[in-house]
């Protein structure tokens, strides 16, 4: 029996909604399970990395997880359109997470710089 996926199963981007529509097609049941499982595993790993406080380490791990995800999705036995959209969605998650790390690192460095400047001004 064909299962209609929620359009936001993989997120709310156009690519995520399109992937949900593709995987809701008749005959795509086995691909749906594979893609959903791979995406869920990827997101679980990315979320687990957020528990690490060091932004440099967190960023490095995001890179490693994304590299591994690219290899694993590329090797999946799914139609090319499923593979392409799944990689696109994962890449968007990765970019958002890397942006967060970069902003946090820059914010930390700016705060440290302000503190050093203040120390110089106050002569402490």
**Which residues neighbour 63 within 8 Å (Cβ) at sequence distance 6 or greater?**
98
- Per-residue confidence (pLDDT) for residue 68, from 0 to 100: 96
- Per-residue confidence (pLDDT) for residue 2, from 0 to 100: 60
Tens-digit pLDDT string for the chain (124 aa): 567 888 888 999 999 999 999 999 999 989 999 999 999 999 999 999 988 988 889 989 999 999 999 999 999 999 999 999 999 999 999 999 888 877 877 777 777 777 777 777 887 6
Beta strands in the chain (DSSP E): none
Mean pLDDT of the chain: 89
Q: What is the pTM of this model?
A: 0.80
CA distance 43 to 90: 8
Displacement of CA 88 from its chain's centroid (Å): 10
Closest CA to 95 of 15, 9, 3, 7: 15
Per-domain residue ranges of the chain: 14-122
- Half-sphere exposure of residue 60: CA atoms within 13 angstroms, side-chain side: 6
């Amino acid at each position: 029996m064909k299962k209609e996926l929620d359009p936001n199963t993989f997120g709310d981007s156009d690519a995520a909604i399109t992937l949900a529509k593709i995987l809701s097609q008749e005959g795509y049941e086995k691909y749906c399970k594979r893609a959903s499982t791979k995406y869920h595993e990827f997101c679980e790993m990315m979320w687990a990395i957020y528990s690490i406080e060091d932004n440099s380490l967190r960023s490095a791990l995001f890179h490693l997880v994304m590299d591994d995800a690219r290899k694993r999705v590329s090797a999946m036995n799914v139609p090319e359109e499923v593979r392409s959209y799944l990689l696109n969605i994962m890449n968007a998650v990765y970019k958002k997470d890397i942006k967060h790390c970069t902003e946090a690192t820059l914010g930390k460095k700016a705060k440290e710089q302000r503190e050093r400047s203040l120390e110089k001004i106050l002569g402490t």
